[in-house]
Amino acid sequence: MHRLILFRHAKTEARPAGREDIDRVLVERGRNEAALMGQVLAQAGFEPDLVLVSSAARARETWEYAKNAFPHAVVETREGLYNATPEEVEAELGDADHSAGVVMVVGHNPSLQELAINLLIDGGAPPSDVEKVSAGFPTATAAVFAIDSMGRAALEGLFHARDYRSQEGEG
């Protein structure tokens, strides 16, 4: 893997009475932002070869709306990404197809943000990059990392859906 994309699921409904957290689905804004972020990432040249998606409904639905931007991606739903620690997300990545050059994880916070921060610190990233990721990782955010031959990560981009909403619907 030479690139990693950590993509937090899009905006969801509040947990309805009588339903489990894993069954929460996206609200309209979330569906729109998931599709938008797929387009943003694809236009930036960040197309995954392999996508690991949490088994939670909101993560699967996020991928459903983003996937049109990535027609060649291979997708695997992973139960281990739901309620995962950063270390468990890393373990899922370790179990991924090693021939995939670009891997995307569609998952949850706090694990994705914590993993992103850990990767930056371990990779010797500038404090400004660590601060940028630490400042917030709201729904429909994607952090893109270049992974060097030693496995160190460098931040290539941090994409927040809120920064692109005004472009939504534009040609």
Residue range 73-113, pLDDT digits in tens? 999 999 999 999 999 999 999 998 888 999 999 999 999 99
For residue range 122-138, list pLDDT tens digits in order: 999 999 999 999 999 99
Residue 161, phi then psi, degrees to nearest 5: -55, -35
pLDDT tier, 167 (very low <50, low <70, confident <90, very high otherwise): low
- The candidate with the shortest Cα–Cα distance to 26, out of 58, 56, 53, 54, is 58
Whether residue 69 contacts residue 51, with contact meaning beta carbons closer than 8 Å, is answered with no
pLDDT tier at 171, thresholds 50, 70, 90:
very low
The distance of Cα 88 from the centroid of its chain, to the nearest Å, equals 15
Contact 34, 140 (CB under 8 A): yes
Q: What percent of the chain has pLDDT over 90?
A: 88
Reported confidence tier of residue 170, pLDDT bands at 50, 70, 90: very low
Mean pLDDT of the chain: 94
What predicted TM-score, i.e. pTM, was given to this entire model?
Answer: 0.94
Q: Which residues contact 91 (CB under 8 A, 6 or more apart)?
A: 80
Q: What is the CATH number of domain 3-164?
A: 3.40.50.1240
Instruction: Give residue limits of the domains in the chain.
Output: 3-164
**Structure confidence by residue, pLDDT tens digits, 30-66:** 999 999 999 999 999 999 999 999 999 999 999 999 9
